[in-house]
Structure 1
Amino acid sequence: MMAKLGIFAIEAFYLLGFPYCFTPEKISVFETSTVKACLAEIVILLGIKLMQRCMADEFIAVIGTATSVAMLILFGKAPSDIYLYIAAAVGCFGMAAIPILRGIMSKMTPSHKQGVLFGSISVVENICNLTSSVMAGAIYSETVGFYRGTAYLVFAGFITVALLLLLVIVKDLRKSDYRKDYKILQ
C-alpha cells in the first residue's frame, strides 16, 4: 500500500517531462476524470464481487498486488504515452488488495477487537502515506537526471516484497485454524 499511495506524489512531474510532455489538461484527464480513477473504481467494485464467487479473498489480494507490480513496472519503463494508458489499464485492479486485506483481517479478529484493528490499520495507512510520498519525491529528485522511471521501479520492488509476504501468509492461512470459520461474504 505504501508504494501505491506514495507514487502519486510524483506522477504529475513524471508526466510533464520528456518523452510524454503531458499538458495540465491531459494530466487531469489521465489522473482523475476518466482513465485511472474511474476505470479503477468500476473494475474494483465489479471485479471483487465477481471474483469472490469463484475464488478465495486471499487470491484476489494476490491478483491485485500482482497487477500493482505490473503497472509500476510498465509506468517506469514506458517509452511513450500509449504505454502509460496500458499501464493504467493493467493496474486498475491494484487497489483491490487493500479492502480485501481489511476484510480478511476483520474476519480473523474477534468482534470486541474490531475497533482496535481498524484504528491500527488507519494509523499504519497514514504513516505509509506520509513516508512514501516523501520517499517518492526524494527518489525522483535524485534519479530524474539519469533515469526518470527509477522511483516507479523501486516502488514496484516494494510491492514485490509485499506480494511475497502475502504469498507466505496465504500459505500459512491455508494450514491454520483461522480458515475453519472464515467464509466468503455473500
Structure 2
Amino acid sequence: MPEPLATWTWRLERVRNGRTVLTRAQATTARADLMNDRAAHPADYADYDEEYTTALDELDVLSRQANRHDDLLSVMAADRRAAEREAAAAGTARAGAPGARSRTSLATEHDRVPAGLPEPLDQWVHRLIRYRAGVKIITPIEAARAEIRLRNEADLQPAAYRTGVAAAYYARVIRELGEIATAERPGRRDAPGLARGLGAALV
C-alpha cells in the first residue's frame, strides 16, 4: 500500500475508534494530498481502489464537520487523570518515597505541555512524561513504531510538526523514542541528565 494511503487509513481507523481527532483543515489537506499522490503515482494505487475511495469519502465527511478542539482537550484531560490513577496504584507517587514524584507534580508537568500540539505528538509527549516518572514502560519495538509513525505524520504535515513550539517537542520526542528503540531492554532509564520530563525541559 502506498505510504500516504497507509498512513491515513491508519489515522482514520483511530478517528473511528475515538482515539484521535482531525480538524477540518487537516482532513481537507489530507484529501488533497492523497488525490495528488495518486495522480503522480497511479500504478502504486492500482490494487487499492477500495481503500483509496473509502479514505477520500471519510476525509470529505471530516472536512465538512465542525472542529473538535474541545473533544481533544477532554481526551487530554482524561489521559492525565488516568496517568495519575496509574501512578497511585503503582505506588510511585507516595509522598516522601525516595525519588518519587507526587501526583501533583506529575499533573503539573502534564499541564505545562502547551495546547495545540498535533495529536500524535501530544500523545507521546505525555507518555514520555509518565515514562520518565516510572509510571509507564515503553518497549523498544513500541518506541520504534511510534518514531516511524511520527516521522510519517511530520512528512505529511511539516508546518504542524517542524515549526513553532511543536518543532522543539517533535525533535525531543523523536530523539528519545530513538534512544528507547535501541535500548537493550524496556523500562525506566536512570541515566544522568535524563531525569527531567519533557514539560520541564521545553517550557
TM-score in terms of structure 2 length: 0.25
- Higher RCO, 1 or 2 (CA under 8 Å, sep at least 6)? 1
Q: Which has the larger radius of gyration?
A: 2
State TM-score, norm by structure 1. Answer: 0.26
